[in-house]
A and B are shown apart, each in its own frame.
Chain A
Amino acid sequence: MTSQQQIKIIKNTLGNSSDIVTRNINDIISYIYLESVSSDDKISNFLMQSITKITSIEQLFNQLKNNIYNSHIVIETDINKCYYYLSSGYTCLFIDNEKNFIAIETQMKLDRGVVESTSEPLIRGPKDSFTENNAINLGLIRKRIKDPKLRIDELKIGRRTNSKTSIIYIDDIANKESVKKIKDILNKIDIDGILDTGYLRDFLNKKQKTLFPKIISSERPDLACQSLLNGKIIILVENSPYAIILPALLVDFFKASEDYYQSNISTSFSRILKWVAFFITITIPSVYIACMTFNQEMIPNQLLISLATQRSQVPFPTFMEVVIFVIFFEILREADIKSPSASGASMSIVGALILGDAAVTAGIVSPFVIIIVAITSICELVFTDMDFINAIRQWRLLFIFSTIFTGLIGIVVMLLILIIELASIESLGVPYLAPFSPLNLNSLKDSIVLSKTNKREKRASYLTKNRTKVKS
């Protein structure tokens, strides 16, 4: 077949899209590329120049193979694979009467460059974040960990998107069985396409359906590299700026990457505040309902009469007030996130005004409920991971539901169920409550309270077998 015929077949399969560009040189060589993803500069500078240097026609294929200026070329035989290369921005070169074709890398940059992270801001520390370009993401990790043992394994997932999925780990630290498990799971995925790492969550969570997240999604390469050094595994998907970090434990949601850049005392303080905020935000609405309706003896004398006075002016039962307000605050947060920044500020002011003064003076709610719900919402803002916040919200509603019927005993029973739930989750074989529940004294130095760097010499034994960090 002549090269022109082959190119015609390809053009027909692509349905004569408007961004196809073909060119024929001397009736022997033809190439095809998609101008939406390929860069004209590279084609003209490298490819055309190397073609013009060719003098003789014998052994054309070998000459081209050896003399093309572009640094990255692939030689393929199967013509069905050229669609993948065309969509990735490669140029496919066909020669007359030659079965093989050459795919030459001429990609155009279609991303926003390495900029500051929008969803995980940081005060002190590196501010770059992952982007939608696969090579840049891998580069941000590779330049931080200059270890020859850093492994990047690649898979292609999705029938129609064929997205590059990279599994990154450090060979002598990470657990080999975990890597194998992940690869097995990912290889079995049969789906139209994945557009973001979030699609992978359902497949990775198949064994145990829980509300709590078993993976961490992060946009920051320094957090990813810290996890790699501790023995965790990272999954990156092309066109997605979020990396998945496995395995995730409960303590990881209370850590921030800037913990290690500050002094350990201030870090310990902020982590203790986060744990306190976690318990407050889950239990305070239900504790309020229990105190007001079932166990009034827990309230001190003076507060009792002022609370009774406030309650008498409100027509609704206590739990209805609390539930309505919690839901209203959640709606307010959703509106705040999704609205464009121009009108965002006024929305939250309007919402706060409505909820605050006007509701109290209209006699719909009592002022104490507003304080309680405001405290829960503020404590919820401490966490950054969206999955974790969603889990907290659902458990909060479950707590309120059980308190409505039985009071304080409902809180105790729900707490037992929460502990049972947390204790039975296992993320890649590692128990979710890891430094606390199978008690691991060494890892406790990094869980609630952070100790100094020179005392944290060993890695966690539940994550890896290679435990020494500092070799003297």
Chain B
Amino acid sequence: MNNRLSYTSLIYFILRATSLGISFALIVRFAKQDSWLAIIIGTIIGIIPVLLVEYIAKYESDKTFVDKIKIVFPKSYKIISTIMLIGFFTITIINFSNLTTLITSQFLSKTPNIVIAIVFIIPIALLITKDNKIIARVSLILFYVSIFLFLMSLLGFLNQLDLSNLKPALTNPILPSAYYYLSFNIMPIFLILFFPNKDIIPCLKKGYLLSSITIFIIIITTLAILGPDLTLLYQYPQFHILKRLYQDFLTFRLENIFAVQFIFDIFIFCVVCLKNCNHLLNFHQGYKQIIIPIILLIITTLLFATNTVSYTNMIINISLIFSIFFAFLILLFSIKIFTKKLIK
């Protein structure tokens, strides 16, 4: 009971991290009004990777994941771990640059990207040096804040929802969007395997369901308020609808406060990714742990500091390639474990 809610909140944040600028645009591009249906189908089909991951986690559950890779792939261990390392790095860079572009485009428009990157690296580097227990505790408290803001914003939107914007229903292709939503979920689920297994296994399904429900509610409210044309037009539509909150009776503009829930998602995602990189490289103590985040993130914000449409498309393509690789990896893992168990 003690740890279950903390790890559920961890999974919740990780699965929501890509939903801000990356996966949302892609889903709505194909299945405009019917994106909500695409998410439902994606969630149902997405149970399969979750079950496979649970299966992998239960096999030899008292060993760490690095040891498990050595057991399951005794010969090609190094190749697989290097590709995993590169995958984690690039995904972290992509999400982190997404965060910095969100902040430079909406909050601080004149500050260069690198200053914002440095400001955010500090809590990331601080949290990487701590144990898994502490990461779980931090994510639980951020979870309280995030759920509170989410529910408050839902209450504020209730009288602006116009469900007729979701009609005409079932006129757009749904399956490509479901496939894209699914592929953006596979990579975070794979990240979870690096946590201690006895804590993670009871929380996987609940965290997955919770994050899917919140993403579903966000997509439905965005489409209902803005309509499918405007949703495609804006860069961050979930952020835009927050500007319309409480306009009738409160004169404050609260979108800056409510946008904090998106910042938390990406923060926890980057922390977990980089911690897994440290696990793969066996950096467990001292200053070595924070070298990787600092150097890589500074270099890449210098390189990828633009905010153009082609850049967003490039990000999406890279994420899709890596998610295919990780899906393939999960399949390979489960097949090998299954054959090992059969041999026994």
Contacts and interface: CB of A to CB of B under 8 A. Distances in A.
| A touches B (Cβ under 8 A) | yes
Contact of B138 (A409, A413, A420): A420
Contacts of A299: 252
Interface residues of A, number: 30
A142 to B, nearest CB: 35
Interface stretch (B32-40, B123-131, B226-234): B123-131
Interface stretch (A178-186, A308-316, A435-443): A435-443
Interface in A412-435: 412-413, 416-417, 419-420, 423-424, 431, 433
Interface string B121-151: 0110011001000100110111010000000
Interface residues of B, number: 33
A423 B256 contact: no
A420 B2 contact: no
Contacts of A413: 119-120, 122-123
Given A301-B251, A438-B3, A439-B2, A424 B140 contact: no
Interface in B1-43: 1-3, 5-6
A406 B141 contact: no
Given A406-B116, A437-B6, A298 B137 contact: no
Contact of A416 (B116, B123, B140, B256): B123
Interface string A83-94: 000000000000
Given A295-B256, A420-B138, A436-B144, A406 B119 contact: yes
B139 to A, nearest CB: 9
Nearest to A303: B251
Contacts of A416: 123, 142, 267
Contacts of B5: 439
A420 B138 CA distance: 6
Interface stretch (B45-53, B83-91, B103-111, B297-305): B103-111
B130 A300 contact: no
B260 interface: yes
Name the residue among B103, B138, B144 with the largest chain A CB count within 10 angstroms.
B138
Contacts of B134: 420, 423-424
Contacts of A437: 6, 137, 140-141
B138 A417 contact: no
A440 B2 contact: yes
Given A420-B126, A423-B141, A438-B137, A412 B1 contact: no
A294 interface: yes
A241 interface: no
Given A301-B251, A408-B107, A438 B2 contact: yes
B198 interface: no
A297 interface: yes
B66 interface: no
A213 interface: no
A410 interface: yes
B316 interface: no
Nearest to B134: A424
Nearest to B252: A300
A420 B127 contact: yes
A408 B116 contact: no
B114 interface: no
A407 interface: yes
B126 A407 contact: no
Contacts of A438: 2-3, 6, 137, 140
Interface in A369-426: 405-410, 412-413, 416-417, 419-420, 423-424
Contacts of B263: 412
A297 B120 CA distance: 23
Interface in A284-300: 294-295, 297-300
A188 B138 CA distance: 34
Contact of A406 (B6, B108, B253, B256): B108
A408 B251 CA distance: 19
B116 A436 contact: no
A412 B252 CA distance: 19
Contacts of B103: 409
Q: Sorted from nearest, which 5 A-B pairs have the closest CB atoms?
A: A300-B251, A437-B137, A423-B137, A438-B2, A416-B123
Given A406-B115, A413-B123, A437-B141, 18 more contacts: A294-B107, A295-B107, A302-B251, A406-B116, A407-B107, A407-B108, A409-B103, A413-B120, A413-B122, A417-B123, A420-B126, A423-B137, A424-B130, A431-B137, A436-B140, A436-B144, A437-B137, A439-B140
Interface of B: 1-3, 5-6, 103, 107-108, 111, 115-116, 119-120, 122-123, 126-127, 130, 134, 137-138, 140-142, 144, 251-254, 256, 260, 263, 267
17 contacts: A298-B256, A299-B252, A300-B251, A301-B251, A302-B251, A405-B119, A406-B119, A409-B108, A409-B119, A417-B126, A420-B138, A423-B141, A436-B141, A437-B6, A437-B137, A438-B6, A441-B1
